[in-house]
Every structure is written in structure tokens, then in C-alpha cells.
């Protein structure tokens, strides 16, 4: 009896110890999940609010100074992330990165300053292709580094080093020669893209217009015209914030809600397409995760290469970006529907092929249309506002995907079809009004040049 009671007592102690260990493990996993969620939410929320502000600030102080600031502060954020030893420091390190990691948006605005309107889709397509290659190689390099001891910290310091290297390249760029040559080329190729007065000069240090009149037209019952004046980054902060607020107010009070709404609808639709892709492939076609990974890599690589098709396609459409956006949106909507109803993996492969191409062209088209309607002089504000709208889509897409997933594995893409159809309907209604607005805007600019 004594031996049996001793065995029973030992079993109870072992069982109690195992339960305690499981509780500790569950608590650790919960803390890890909460930390990851808080860090991700902090970054996403800061990106949403800061995209438009930093983009507008680049219009105010110039591309060079804003780009250097964003690169150096992002490098500091990743360095802080690499030295973080607590949850609080880990979350704190995401704040500077969330606020100032907008180098891609500022580079897009800089490219729109440097090239003529006819060359902009081609250059933007090549830039998006280069960015996509970076997004493909980044996880590969990061995964390789994290396999080693201290890999997370090594990855963080590698990111910081790359940002510092980019800042050095920006600092050494020959801004004087590049911008003067760009001005002469744009003036000879497209006179309508010249400055409104004959005494316009580009800033040698900031890569933006100085002492020139910038026009941004907004149809809210009356045409608004504002003279943008560049503010030095050494001027008082309140003056910079006043200029930034003025730009943001004019952009959001302009008649561009339709473009931003199309961007939101299509962004959420595309995210719904990818949201449960791996799970849907496993449930619908019994694909292994490895095969699904190959399919996703194939689609990503094709999307990067599709950036080089933007130029030839826009030439084929004779630079009718509105028609190209409408057709790419219709094609994207059809491909999401075909994916949702696909009876075999081969149809999924076919839809993924054309889906990567149509989404790449659509993103370039909507950015170009935003710059056409808002004016390239406010390109930083416009591109930043577009990124803020996309950030809203990143918040909404997981929620909608979770709700749709409850009904069917095909629920998220089916909901994406509905949103894409809404975008198509909006484009059909608004495109005729865009043509009229563009004509009136061109006439207004011509009248302004004559009066000057």
C-alpha cells in the first residue's frame, strides 16, 4: 500500500509539473503573439498617419533632405531594434521606422520630378520592377541570416547598414548636373511641363522646384490655386508644418476621392486574393506548402518582370491611362473570379500568371493618374496619400478575410470579386468626368501662362 500511494503521489506531482510547464508555455506563446501584434500594429498605424505627412514634407523641404532624413532615421530604428533586449525597447524601435521609412515613396516622387510626363509610366514600371526584386531577395537573405546564432540581430544591423549606404549614395549624387540636364530635356521634349514662368530654376541641393508657382487644381465647387514655396529644412518647424498642412488640405479637398477609392477597393481585393492562398491550395487541391511556395515565388517573380511591360503597354494605349486602368481592373476582377472558381491547379497557375501582370500595370496606372490630376509639383503629397489609403486596406483585408473564410475557402477571393466589380463600376461612371476635368485644367494652366 505504501508503494502504491508513493507511485500515485509521484504521478500526481509529475502531472502537476507538466500542467505548470504547459501553462508557462502557453503564457509565453501568448506574450510572444501579443508582442508581435503590438509591434506590427504600431508600425502599421504610424505608417498610415505618417505617409501623407512625410510625402508632403518632401514637397516642402525638397527630395534630397527628406530622403536623407528618412534613410538615417530608419537606420537608427533598425540599429535600436538590433540592440533591443526587452519588449518595450523592441516596440520603441518600431516607432522611428514606422514614422520615417518612406524612402520608396520619396524616390517615386523624385522620379516624377526628373522625367517628363510621357516617360513617367516607363520609368515607374522599371522602378516597381526593381523594388519587387528587392522584396523577393529580402526574405531569402533574412531567412539565411536568421538561421545562424544571433541571426535576428545580424539581420537588423544588416538593414541598418543598407540604409546608411543608401544615405551615402544620396549624399554623393550629382544633384546639380542631373537636375539641370533633366530640366533642359523636359523643356525640349514637352513644353507644357515647363515652369509657368521663364525664371524657374531647380534647387541644386534639394532636387525640387524653388521660387516657382506650383498649381494644384481641386474641383470642390471652385478651382483652387496655390503658390507652393519651398521652405528650407533649417527654417522654424512651425513654418514647415504650416506648408505641409496646406498641401494636405488642398489635396484632400480636391476632386480625387474617386481615384483614392479605386485604390482602396482594388488594394483590398488583391490582398483578399493572397490572404488565404496557402490554406486554400491545401484544402482545395491538397497541395503541399512547398509547392504552394513555389507558386507564390513564381507569381512574385513574374510581377517583378511585368514592370518592364508597363512602358510598351502605355505606348500601345497611346498614353490613355484611364482606359488602361479600366481594362486592367476588369482583367484583375475576371482573374480573381477564375481563381475562386478554378477546378484545377493548372487554372490557378494560369490566373496567377496574368494576375501578376494586371496588378503591376494597374498600380502604375493609378499612380500616374493621381499625378496627372493632382499635379506633379505635389507628387510627394499625392504618393504619400496613396500609401496611406493602401495602409487602410492592409488593416481591413485581414478582418474581411477572416469573416469570409468562415463560409468557404473561396470566400476571401469571392469577396474580392465584389470589391473589384465596385471599382469597375466607379471607373465607368467617373472616367468621362476625368476627361472633362483634364481639359478644363489644361485650359486654366494655359490661361495662367498667358497672364504671366
What per-residue confidence (pLDDT) applies to 17?
A: 52
Confidence of residue 164 (pLDDT cuts 50, 70, 90): very high
Mean pLDDT of 7-11: 51
3-state secondary structure the chain: CHHHHHHHHHHHHHHHHHHHHHHHHHHHHHHHHHHHHHHHHHHHHHHHHHHHHHHHHHHHHCHHHHHHHHHHHHHHHHHHHHCCCCHHHHHHHHHHHHHHCCHHHHHHHHHHHHCCCCCHHHHHHHHHHHHHHHHHHHHHHHHHHHCCCCHHHHHHHHHHHHHHHHHHHHHHCCHHHHHHHHHHHHHHHCHHHCCCCCCCEECCCCCCEECCCCCCCCECCCECCCCCCCCCCCCCHHHHHHHHHHHHHHHHCCCCHHHHHHHHHHHHHHHHHHHCHHHHHHHHHCCCHHHHHHHHHHHHHHHHHHHHHHHHHHHHCCCCHHHHHHHHHHHHHHHHHHHHCCCCHHHHHHHHHHHHHHHHHHHHHHHHHHHHHHCHHHHHHHHHHHHHHHHHHHHHHHHHHHHHHCCCCCHHHHHHHHHHHHHHHHHHHHHHHHHHHHHHHHHHHHHHHHHC
The answer to whether 195 and 209 are in contact (CB under 8 A) is yes
Q: Count Cβ neighbours within 10 Å for each residue of 280-299 and write b for 16 or more, e otherwise.
A: bbbebeebeeeebeebeeeb
Nearest to 59 by CA among 246, 326, 314, 289: 246
What contacts 296, CB < 8 A, 6 or more positions away? Answer: 277, 278
Confidence of residue 161 (pLDDT cuts 50, 70, 90): very high
Nearest to 357 by CA among 320, 332, 327: 332
CA distances to 347, 386, 415, 451 from 341, rounded to whole Å, are 9, 31, 13, 59
| Ramachandran angles phi, psi of 202, nearest 5° | -85, 145
What per-residue confidence (pLDDT) applies to 16?
A: 55
State yes or no: pLDDT of 192 exceeds 60.
no
What per-residue confidence (pLDDT) applies to 435?
A: 61
Confidence of residue 166 (pLDDT cuts 50, 70, 90): very high
Question: Exposed, middle or buried: residue 182 (CB in 10 Å: 0-12, 13-18, 19+)?
Answer: middle
The β-bridge partners of 219 are 223
Mean pLDDT of 50-78: 90
What per-residue confidence (pLDDT) applies to 259?
A: 92
Q: Across the chain, what does the average pLDDT equal?
A: 76
Q: Lowest-confidence range among 175-179, 333-337, 386-390, 441-445?
A: 441-445
C-alpha 191/C-alpha 445 separation (Å) is 12
Nearest to 55 by CA among 434, 367, 359, 365: 367
Mean pLDDT of 100-109: 91
For 261, how many CA atoms within 13 A lie in the half-sphere containing its CB?
13
Confidence of residue 41 (pLDDT cuts 50, 70, 90): low
Q: Lowest-confidence range among 231-235, 298-302, 392-396?
A: 231-235
C-alpha 345/C-alpha 105 separation (Å) is 36
What per-residue confidence (pLDDT) applies to 366?
A: 93
| Ramachandran angles phi, psi of 223, nearest 5° | -75, 130
Residue-wise pLDDT for 312-367, tens only, equals 999 999 889 999 999 999 999 999 999 999 888 899 999 999 998 999 999 999 99
Residue-wise pLDDT for 118-154, tens only, equals 888 889 988 988 888 887 888 778 777 877 777 788 8
What contacts 44, CB < 8 A, 6 or more positions away? Answer: 98, 391, 394, 395
Amino acid at each position: 500500500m505504501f508503494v502504491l500511494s508513493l507511485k500515485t503521489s509521484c504521478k500526481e506531482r509529475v502531472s502537476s509539473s507538466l500542467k505548470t510547464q504547459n501553462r508557462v508555455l502557453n503564457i509565453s506563446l501568448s506574450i510572444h503573439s501579443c508582442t508581435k501584434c503590438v509591434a506590427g500594429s504600431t508600425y502599421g498605424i504610424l505608417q498610415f498617419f505618417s505617409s501623407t505627412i512625410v510625402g508632403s514634407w518632401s514637397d516642402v523641404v525638397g527630395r534630397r533632405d527628406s530622403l536623407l532624413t528618412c534613410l538615417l532615421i530608419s537606420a537608427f530604428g533598425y540599429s535600436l531594434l538590433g540592440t533591443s533586449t526587452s519588449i518595450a525597447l523592441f516596440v520603441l524601435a518600431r516607432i522611428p521606422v514606422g514614422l520615417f521609412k518612406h524612402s520608396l515613396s520619396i524616390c517615386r516622387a523624385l522620379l516624377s520630378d526628373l522625367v517628363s510626363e510621357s516617360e513617367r509610366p516607363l520609368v515607374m514600371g522599371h522602378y516597381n520592377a526593381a523594388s519587387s526584386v528587392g522584396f523577393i531577395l529580402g526574405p531569402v537573405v533574412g531567412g539565411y541570416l536568421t538561421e545562424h546564432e544571433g541571426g535576428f540581430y545580424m539581420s537588423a544591423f544588416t538593414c541598418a547598414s543598407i540604409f546608411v549606404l543608401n544615405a551615402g549614395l544620396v549624399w554623393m549624387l550629382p544633384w546639380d548636373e542631373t537636375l539641370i540636364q533633366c530640366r533642359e530635356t523636359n523643356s525640349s521634349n514637352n513644353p507644357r511641363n515647363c515652369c509657368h514662368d521663364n525664371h524657374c530654376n531647380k534647387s541644386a541641393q534639394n532636387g525640387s522646384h524653388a521660387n516657382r508657382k506650383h498649381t494644384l487644381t481641386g474641383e470642390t465647387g471652385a478651382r483652387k490655386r496655390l503658390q507652393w514655396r519651398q521652405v528650407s529644412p533649417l527654417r522654424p518647424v512651425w513654418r514647415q508644418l504650416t506648408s505641409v498642412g496646406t498641401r494636405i488640405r488642398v489635396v484632400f479637398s480636391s476632386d480625387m476621392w474617386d481615384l483614392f477609392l479605386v485604390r482602396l477597393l482594388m488594394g483590398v481585393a488583391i490582398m483578399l486574393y493572397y490572404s488565404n492562398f496557402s490554406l486554400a491550395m491545401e484544402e482545395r487541391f491538397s497541395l503541399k506548402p512547398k509547392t504552394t511556395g513555389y507558386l507564390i515565388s513564381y507569381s512574385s517573380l513574374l510581377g517583378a518582370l511585368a514592370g518592364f511591360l508597363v512602358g510598351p503597354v502605355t505606348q500601345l494605349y497611346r498614353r490613355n491611362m484611364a482606359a488602361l486602368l479600366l481594362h486592367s481592373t476588369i482583367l484583375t476582377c475576371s482573374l480573381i473570379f477564375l481563381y475562386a472558381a478554378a477546378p484545377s491547379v493548372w487554372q490557378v497557375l494560369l490566373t496567377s500568371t496574368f494576375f501578376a501582370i494586371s496588378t503591376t500595370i494597374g498600380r502604375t496606372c493609378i499612380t500616374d493618374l493621381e499625378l496627372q490630376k493632382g499635379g506633379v509639383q505635389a507628387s510627394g503629397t499625392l504618393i504619400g496619400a496613396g500609401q496611406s489609403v493602401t495602409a487602410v486596406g492592409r488593416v481591413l483585408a485581414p478582418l474581411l478575410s477572416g469573416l469570409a473564410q468562415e463560409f468557404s475557402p473561396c470566400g476571401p477571393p469571392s469577396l474580392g470579386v465584389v470589391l473589384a466589380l465596385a471599382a469597375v463600376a466607379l471607373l465607368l461612371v467617373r472616367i468621362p468626368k476625368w476627361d472633362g476635368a483634364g481639359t478644363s485644367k489644361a485650359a486654366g494652366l494655359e490661361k495662367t501662362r498667358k497672364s504671366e
